[in-house]
């Protein structure tokens, strides 16, 4: 008999199993072996979580902004206090290097929660005024209601924060589902938030976490209780959520895939560009919708840039959670390993694998840092999101061709421009059809700045005041004088 860890849903302040007892196996991606089980939540579990959130909503909606702020500030403190537990849970589910996860995720998570704690007290609107004779108009900004949220497996605990923190700050209550492969850290976050809610005498149903698969997510989105559905995931998942939410006209917030172009012009610092792009492309095994994985380089510096990038990639080591000098861990699951491998196996004859292009080891889902050159604009690997440690390199001849290639994909989340020419950087930032344009850097995210894209990368913003406003609704109140 297997000796496995057992995870639970967290509903109305209590750990509970799925009503029908069904479970999912959770696999350690560093070994490929099952190490835990989590509930496979069905309709009855979704009903219970939605009922808890709906019951808690009137109290939480009417809580003062200062109360919401206090809750979030205490949650941020608790995240830092229990950092080691959160990192242990995150790394077991994802295989991420422990040191990087502690340094790169816990601090930003706590900072993001504190940002939204401040936002809770800054619900701005247009001032009252008289726009018709004998009438005064007022604009109210209000919480939406119960929010159904679905988080992905690449950054489970950080995206959970991106989801629940602005929603709670605005006065909403939440039912959150983590990915079926990475539930552990989100369940622990629910326990942390639940403890703070209890200490403050607030309703336990303000935040509920239920585990499950795609069907669980579908049941959440189609449930009549939520007023809003928010997902970070694939384009396919986003389309399904939008279609399901259309049945009763729910509001939808979608943060989907990416295929970030990285434009390297002839005056760029080649060594620095190669170093940063390698880091931004291979971090988290390239499992990042903003990853620097599609490089467009001016033909005059193509050869030296490829040489520098290939050297940097060859030094980007993958390995286990506690191994030294590891840049990134494994891919998340067997299906993802097969997807990344498939893109390399199907490369056209005109492509060249400069380094990598193979699995590492026989256990787990490790894949070598890979650089591919010689590609053409409409090759499969250029047009589709690989979501793995693979960087492609294409040539361009001038600004117009660079922009044409950059925009000629269905994704529009993030991009970067590498040049010493300020005017060129400004031209590119205007012409690039992406929600974020970095200049001479790639990947920094800030709590104060919005994260979100266009086209099939979705709509709505995470982080920033814009992300906060996405979880509010606008009401006009008019009174006769």
Q: Which of 393, 466, 244, 334 is nearest to 31 (CA)?
A: 334
> How far apart (Å, rounded) are the C-alpha atoms in residues 320 and 315?
16
- Is 469 designated active site? no
Which two tokens mark 179? Answer: 């990915």
pLDDT in tens, 189-236: 999 999 999 999 999 999 999 999 999 999 999 999 999 999 999 999
Count of beta carbons in the 10 Å neighbourhood of residue 257: 22
> How far apart (Å, rounded) are the C-alpha atoms in residues 369 and 367?
7
Least confident of 50-64, 114-128, 219-233, 256-270: 114-128
Across 254-260, average pLDDT: 97
pLDDT for position 3:
74
Q: How confident is the model at residue 1 (pLDDT cuts 50, 70, 90)?
A: very low
- Of 91, 289, 327, 436, the active-site residue reads 289
Average pLDDT, the chain: 97
Residues whose CB falls within 8 Å of the CB of residue 414, separated by 6 or more in sequence, listed in order = 258, 260, 289, 290, 434, 435, 436, 437, 438, 443, 453
Beta strands 458-459 and 251-255, pairing class: antiparallel
Q: How confident is the model at residue 384 (pLDDT cuts 50, 70, 90)?
A: very high
In the predicted structure, residue 263 carries a pLDDT above the cut 90: yes
pLDDT in tens, 84-120: 999 999 999 999 999 999 999 999 999 999 999 999 9
pLDDT in tens, 154-191: 999 999 999 999 999 999 999 999 999 999 999 999 99
- Of 90, 105, 222, 255, the active-site residue reads 255
pLDDT in tens, 416-460: 999 999 999 999 999 999 999 999 999 999 999 999 999 999 999
- Is 211 designated active site? no
Which two tokens mark 78? Answer: 């608790």
In the predicted structure, residue 348 carries a pLDDT above the cut 90: yes
CA 141 vs CA 13, 34, 76, 84, 137: distances in Å:
28, 47, 25, 38, 13
Give all domains of the chain, ordered by start, each with its CATH number.
5-256+457-480 (3.40.605.10), 261-446 (3.40.309.10)
Across 466-477, average pLDDT: 96
pLDDT for position 450:
97
What is residue 456's three-state secondary structure?
coil
């Amino acid at each position: 008999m297997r000796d496995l860890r057992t995870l639970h849903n967290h509903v109305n302040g209590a750990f509970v199993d799925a009503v029908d007892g069904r479970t999912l196996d959770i696999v350690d991606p560093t070994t490929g072996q099952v190490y835990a089980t989590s509930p496979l939540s069905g309709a009855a579990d979704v009903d219970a979580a939605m009922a808890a959130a709906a019951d808690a909503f009137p109290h939480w909606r009417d809580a003062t902004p200062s109360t919401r702020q206090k809750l979030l500030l205490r949650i941020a403190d608790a995240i830092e206090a229990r950092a080691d537990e959160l990192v242990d849970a995150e790394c077991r589910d994802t295989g991420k290097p422990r040191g990087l996860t502690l340094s790169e995720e816990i601090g930003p998570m706590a900072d993001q929660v504190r940002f939204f704690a401040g936002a809770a007290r800054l619900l701005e609107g247009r001032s009252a005024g008289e726009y018709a004779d004998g009438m005064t108009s007022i604009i109210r900004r209000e919480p939406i209601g119960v929010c159904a949220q679905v988080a992905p497996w690449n950054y489970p605990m950080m995206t959970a924060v991106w989801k629940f923190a602005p929603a709670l700050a605005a006065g909403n209550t939440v039912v959150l589902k983590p990915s079926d492969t990475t539930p552990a850290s989100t369940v622990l976050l629910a326990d942390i938030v639940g403890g703070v809610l209890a200490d403050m005498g607030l309703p336990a149903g303000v935040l509920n976490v239920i585990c499950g698969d795609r069907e669980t997510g579908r049941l959440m989105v189609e449930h009549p209780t939520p007023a809003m559905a928010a997902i970070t995931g694939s384009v396919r998942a986003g389309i399904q959520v939008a279609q399901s939410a259309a049945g009763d006209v729910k509001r939808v917030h979608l943060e989907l895939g990416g295929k970030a172009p990285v434009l390297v012009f002839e005056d760029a610092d080649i060594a620095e560009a190669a170093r940063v792009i390698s880091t931004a492309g291979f971090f988290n095994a390239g499992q990042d919708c903003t990853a620097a994985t599609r490089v467009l380089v001016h033909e005059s510096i193509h050869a030296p840039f490829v040489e520098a990038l290939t050297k940097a990639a060859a030094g980007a080591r993958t390995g286990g959670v506690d191994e030294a000098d590891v840049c990134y861990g494994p891919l998340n699951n067997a299906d993802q390993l097969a997807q990344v491998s498939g893109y390399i196996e199907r490369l056209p004859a005109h492509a060249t694998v400069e380094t990598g292009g193979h699995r590492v080891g026989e256990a787990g889902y490790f894949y070598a840092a890979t650089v591919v050159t010689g590609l053409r604009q409409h090759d499969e690997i250029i047009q589709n999101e690989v979501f793995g440690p693979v960087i492609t390199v294409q040539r361009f001849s001038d600004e117009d061709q660079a922009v044409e290639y950059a925009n000629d994909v269905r994704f529009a989340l993030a991009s970067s421009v590498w040049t010493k020419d300020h005017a060129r950087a400004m031209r590119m930032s205007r012409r690039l059809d992406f929600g974020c344009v970095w200049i001479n850097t790639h990947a920094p995210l800030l709590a104060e700045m919005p994260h979100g894209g266009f086209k099939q990368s979705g709509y709505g913003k995470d982080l920033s005041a814009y992300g906060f406003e996405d979880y509010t609704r606008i009401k006009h109140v008019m009174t006769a004088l």
